[in-house]
Structure 1
């Protein structure tokens, strides 16, 4: 009587063990993907001389993260992933640089104004303006996180992408806070474990934000037109 019972317990544990193994393998695949994307981001950022390479490399990471989040991951070698990354980098070169430098200029302007107000004194008006500038700076930082998944998902001009990110941030704050919170949590993990930075870098938060936006329904699963590498 005991042998069949043992057999039944083993049968029940089989699928659970398989699912656990599948979860572990999936996590390992994701971590490897992030390491590969971060390595490509570094390489192609340097290829563009930092100034012209960082934003197209970020756009390429977002494009591949979007494909992964939609379940369209291309199975292949490191060489195939590298060629795919290169196509996105070249195809989004102008668009990504325009988008990135618009936001960078806005952030720099806010930072300069904040320092000017700090040097001018700490009166009531100065404190109020400084608070407004801090809020604007936080908004620009949030836009800097959201624009890349949107740029990868929609075929739109830089200003239209920024406007879409503003609409998402103000019109659907709960949907925007989920990916921003995920990025903040990962940033905290980077702070607590600095060794994660050279392993996952920009690819980690960008991949996570893209996945949360798409799987959470903040972005449509199948847009009318999404940018493809040229």
Structure 2
């Protein structure tokens, strides 16, 4: 019974952390006048979850700890996140516009082929964008290195890519079924899901469940002490 209570508290703290990250995301996006604050907020959310994930000894974060971690990451990312995010956004906007254009114009058989290619390209690019921010949060490397590594991960870590995609679909379904969840958690949930997928299946040095998590014996001992 005690173990159930501890597990329940653990998940409640995760929900609270995600909720605080969502509020911090909105506040800091507005603080940067949206245009200058959005992508640093995206980067800060990824960075906050990364810090929480690698803190395997104590993930019972307080509201203050989550907010402070987010704010520090946001200030550090003001320049780099905008330089990293806006070119990505421009490319994805172009791909989506081209897909919409093909879908809304009768181009015959060629149009169907192009539409299918653009759909796959958008799917691949979406996975690349989601994973690239996780790589960006985990490594202090150049944008070119981050982009190259992210593309390699999408291809070389199929289970990670699949889970990122499936968890995103589940999130979209949940938000569509219960719109209140979107208002309460926003982008904080899909980012959390992405980081959990990368942490569990991405095998990134410095953020890998197989390296960072305590073994079963240590986990059992920790529960027994509680």
- Shorter-chain TM-score bucket reads 0.7 to 0.9
Larger Rg: 1
After TM superposition, give the deviation of residue 104 of structure 1 in Å: 0.8
After TM superposition, give the deviation of residue 80 of structure 1 in Å: 4.5
Question: For the Cα contact (< 8 Å) 2:50–2:207, is it kept in 1?
Answer: no
Question: For the Cα contact (< 8 Å) 2:132–2:146, is it kept in 1?
Answer: yes
After TM superposition, give the deviation of residue 111 of structure 1 in Å: 2.5
Unmatched runs of 5 consecutive residues or more in structure 1: 1-16, 224-230
Unmatched runs of 5 consecutive residues or more in structure 2: 209-226
Q: 1:46 aligns to what? A: 30
After TM superposition, the score normalised by the length of structure 2 is: 0.82
1:112 to 77, 97, 102: 97
Matched, 1:185 2:170: yes
Question: For the Cα contact (< 8 Å) 1:70–1:214, is it kept in 2?
Answer: no
Higher relative contact order (CA 8 A, sep 6+): 1
Q: 2:21 aligns to what? A: 37
After TM superposition, the score normalised by the length of structure 1 is: 0.81
After TM superposition, give the deviation of residue 191 of structure 1 in Å: 1.4
In 1, Cα distance between equivalents of 2:107 and 2:23: 45
Matched, 1:168 2:153: yes
Aligned residues: 207
Question: For the Cα contact (< 8 Å) 1:66–1:153, is it kept in 2?
Answer: yes
After TM superposition, give the deviation of residue 185 of structure 1 in Å: 1.5
Matched, 1:148 2:133: yes
- 1:1-230 mapped onto 2 (5 Å cutoff): 17-71=1-55, 78-118=63-103, 121-221=106-206
Deviation by residue 1:183-214 (Cα, 9 ceiling, x = unmatched): 22122211111111111111112112212211
